Structure 1
Amino acid sequence: MRVAVVQYGVFHDRYAALKAGEPETYYAQAYSVNFIAELAEQCEFLGVIGVLGEEPGETAVSDRLRSACVPAINGAPDAPAIIALLEKWRPDRLILQAPDRVILRWALRNKVDTLPLLADSFEQKSLRRQIQSFLLGWLLNRPAFRAVGNHNVPSCLSLKRIGVDAKKIYPWDWPHELRPEKHPVKALPAGPAKLVYVGSLASSKGVGDCIEAARILREDGVELEMTLVGGGGFTEEATSLIDRYGLSDTVRLAGKLSHDKVIETLKSATLSMAPSWHIYPEGLPMTIYEALATRTPLALSDHPMFQLYFKDAPAARMAPERNPKALAAAIKTLITDEKAYAAASEATGALWDKVKCDLTWGMLIKAWLGEDNMNLDNIKNESLAERLESLG
């Protein structure tokens, strides 16, 4: 069996870093890296192509495992460069973690059995993006693609809306090692409320809205400390906003943190924020799972991917997108009311249990490959169609 994997991020860099004892930089990083390394031992050949690599190149990780990286073009995979590597490697199986129509068509033409394994939503409002999404849906619905994975149910529903058959869609999740029962229910702190954002520093992730909300809350006399964790293109503008509003003693840019430090930050947080704009192609951010698992209530936008689980949820407060005033008001309802806050923290456990999926990323890959006495028939009760039927 010759397998190729197309993913975001450079495999050999993270493999070497984890081997050297460095901490994870995101949730389930060691799990996914170790899974690929172990899978390579069962293959004649396994090659991983990492998109967004700064320098293109190819590295031998072991006799059976190779890792290559290709640059992105305007944030999208460089499909011709990826296809050139695939034609060089000659895989008979492809795990594609990017919704790229050019690569999917190549796989069809070359009869390469392919598992699209995504963490994307397809809710774009522009006509051009809608056409692109429906073309993707038509392609994914071809019988050659026996299964299509996407991270959690809301993202899978977006696949269904662009025409993919619910019977072949599988909502997957990462293993749930971080769990709410391991953490105490929180109470409001005696001092300033600690508000945390974890994710890419991008305008469409609502980072500017967080800063604006901090200004509004402070002007309203609410004591708070806000920490923005992550890196990205909005960093300079975020710094400018903080300076303009005189918030240097209130809002802190923490930069990128190791995953264990992210969890420690959430453990000590009063509230976690996820105010993404609708145009941002959210799946279901892991920071939401991590907040719920650490008993930290949420303040979110009304992004389509958040509606299913978080609208009217006791553990969360929702505000319209791009509306810092509404975001500030939503935050204030929790951080100024001890009883409401304690109830929200208590409710995080039930909400976490509702949000998680039992089918893991690795289980779906094994079932699709037919490894470890597994196949897609074994997991058909985990398909989106079966989940929707169970919900009535």
Structure 2
Amino acid sequence: MHFMLVLYAGDYHNAWHRIHSGKQPTWHGHPFMVERFGKLSQHHKVTILTCKSQKPYEDTLPDGCRVIEVGLAEPFKQHRELVARVASEDVTHLMIRAPIPGLIRWATRQQNLRTIAALAQSYSNKTLKGRLKNWRYARLFNHPKVEWVFNHNINSSYSLQSIGVNPAKIVPWDWPQTWLDRKPKVFPEQSGSEPWTIFFVGSVIPNKGVGDGIDAVARLRHAGINIQFKIAGKGDIAGFQQQAETLGISDAVIFLGMIGNNEVIDYMTAADLVLISSRHNYPEGFPYTINQALLSRTPIIASDHPMFKGILQHRESAMIFPAGDGGAIAHCIQEVIASPSLYESLSRNSQSAWEFLQVPVRWGDVIDRWLGDTPGDRQWLAAHSLQSGRYADRVARLNN
């Protein structure tokens, strides 16, 4: 058996060496991938192929996994080069994490190739262009040669069904995680010189709502509220520094750069509020920052992104604002910091919110059950598909 995982971007080679040298991973999924593929490579040929990278690269890791970086700048447009590279390998089992239509189409035409999609993104039918694109995706995912379509958590899986993908093929999954059993937070009594701290982690780009958060901080500062905004991640940092300077709040916005994944919850715990501000045009699957924020028990200020619906409830597990509205973010923050009872109830309710969003299928199950392919494995996956009815309570809340 030759198993190949196709990733859109990222540096698996670097991630492997960081983990095995004792350094913190920069993404929460890397330790689970490294552990699972290391075990798999003891008995089978395993290749991790990354589409987008600065230059072509190939190496074999000490655990036997082969790493290939194709060196494409625009994989969706350069799908022929990608397909040629994948076709040059004697692959028997293909897991596609990068939903590139040209690659999926090629895979459906290969007689001796087993294929699944394992996604972490959502699909929206809001525009005519989007509906046409999603119709094409539904046709590809519904092809008999694509055995299963896994997607990250319930909402993103349900978005696949909404564009026409057969719910019997859709299986929600998530990364392994454990409740940390931290105590609910007590309302912080701020002194006059001590600022309220807001924390954001993720891609530092407009569609993640970073600029909206900076706008909210400016509004609060101009209203006389002592507030500080800490931003962790990489992206257009210079552009947002310029925004903060233009608004006269450069001293209130701190860019931390990349931080280790194991540091995220500690930063969240140290903050007074966590901001999750994705705009609707950002294709969220299910942001792991929601899990991390709930685990930290720090109250959440979140946008009304469709992928958060039914997971976070306004004034119960988070304060919800219309995405892209800095004024609404500021209003939510003001409301929470002015009400000790609201602040503490949001923190207290984080455990029940975290428990509600858990799904039974984990990353290891996706690989083990698919590769096992016994009648019992296929039955188990079917019993965890959207069609099974197992997620009816989540879907009901999503539709409310």
Residue 270 of structure 1 aligns with an amino acid whose one-letter code is D
Could you tell me which of 230, 233, 240 is aligned with 1:227? 230
Residue 187 of structure 2 aligns with an amino acid whose one-letter code is L
Secondary structure (helix, strand or coil) at the match of 2:251 reads coil
When normalised by structure 1's length, the TM-score is 0.94
| Matches for 1:265-284 after TM superposition, within 5 Å | 265-284=267-286
Greater shift in the superposed pair: 368-377 or 321-330: 368-377
- Aligned residue number for residue 102 of structure 1: 102
Cα distance in 1 for residues equivalent to 2:189 and 2:133:
51
Query: Residues 47 and 89 of structure 1 are in contact (CA less than 8 Å); yes or no, is this contact kept in structure 2?
Result: no
Greater shift in the superposed pair: 206-215 or 23-32: 23-32
- Aligned residue number for residue 343 of structure 2: 341
Structure 1 residues 333 and 172: CA distance shift in structure 2, 3 A: same
- Aligned residue number for residue 92 of structure 2: 92
Query: Residues 265 and 295 of structure 2 are in contact (CA less than 8 Å); yes or no, is this contact kept in structure 1?
Result: no
| Matches for 1:32-71 after TM superposition, within 5 Å | 32-43=33-44, 45-62=45-62, 64-71=64-71
Structure 1 residues 385 and 197: CA distance shift in structure 2, 3 A: same
- Aligned residue number for residue 175 of structure 1: 176
Deviations 1:6-51 (A, max 9, x none): 01322222112211111111213211111112111121x2111023
Deviations 1:53-73 (A, max 9, x none): 222111122585211112343
- Structure 2, unpaired ranges of 5+: none
Structure 1 residues 101 and 84: CA distance shift in structure 2, 3 A: same
Within the alignment, does 1:378 sit opposite 2:377 as a pair? no
Structure 1 residues 150 and 379: CA distance shift in structure 2, 3 A: same
Cα distance in 1 for residues equivalent to 2:196 and 2:24:
28
Query: Residues 48 and 66 of structure 2 are in contact (CA less than 8 Å); yes or no, is this contact kept in structure 1?
Result: yes
- Aligned residue number for residue 186 of structure 1: 185
Cα distance in 2 for residues equivalent to 1:375 and 1:77:
36
Cα distance in 1 for residues equivalent to 2:364 and 2:249:
44
Residue 166 of structure 2 aligns with an amino acid whose one-letter code is D
Within the alignment, does 1:328 sit opposite 2:330 as a pair? yes
| Matches for 1:1-392 after TM superposition, within 5 Å | 1-7=1-7, 8-43=9-44, 45-62=45-62, 64-74=64-74, 76=76, 78-111=78-111, 112-123=113-124, 125-177=126-178, 179-181=179-181, 183-191=182-190, 192-232=195-235, 234-312=236-314, 314-370=316-372, 375-387=377-389, 390-391=392-393
Q: Aligned-pair distance for 1:285?
A: 0.7
Cα distance in 2 for residues equivalent to 1:41 and 1:141:
33
Query: Residues 38 and 64 of structure 2 are in contact (CA less than 8 Å); yes or no, is this contact kept in structure 1?
Result: no
Deviations 1:290-321 (A, max 9, x none): 00011012111111111121243502011111
Aligned residues: 388
Secondary structure (helix, strand or coil) at the match of 2:297 reads coil
**Superposition CA RMSD, Å:** 1.9
Structure 1 residues 369 and 77: CA distance shift in structure 2, 3 A: farther
Cα distance in 1 for residues equivalent to 2:172 and 2:290:
17
Greater shift in the superposed pair: 11-20 or 367-376: 367-376
When normalised by structure 2's length, the TM-score is 0.92
Query: Residues 122 and 160 of structure 2 are in contact (CA less than 8 Å); yes or no, is this contact kept in structure 1?
Result: yes
Cα distance in 2 for residues equivalent to 1:40 and 1:343:
47
Q: Aligned-pair distance for 1:356?
A: 1.7
Deviations 1:65-119 (A, max 9, x none): 2111123434758423332221221201101001111111111111321110000
Cα distance in 2 for residues equivalent to 1:108 and 1:161:
22
Cα distance in 2 for residues equivalent to 1:186 and 1:372:
47
Cα distance in 2 for residues equivalent to 1:168 and 1:316:
32
Residue 90 of structure 1 aligns with an amino acid whose one-letter code is D
Structure 1 residues 63 and 290: CA distance shift in structure 2, 3 A: closer
Deviations 1:200-227 (A, max 9, x none): 0110111000000001111222222110
Cα distance in 2 for residues equivalent to 1:372 and 1:188:
53
Q: Aligned-pair distance for 1:124?
A: 5.2
Structure 1 residues 340 and 77: CA distance shift in structure 2, 3 A: farther
Secondary structure (helix, strand or coil) at the match of 2:352 reads helix
Secondary structure (helix, strand or coil) at the match of 2:220 reads helix
Query: Residues 199 and 268 of structure 2 are in contact (CA less than 8 Å); yes or no, is this contact kept in structure 1?
Result: yes
Secondary structure (helix, strand or coil) at the match of 1:190 reads coil
Q: Aligned-pair distance for 1:259?
A: 1.2
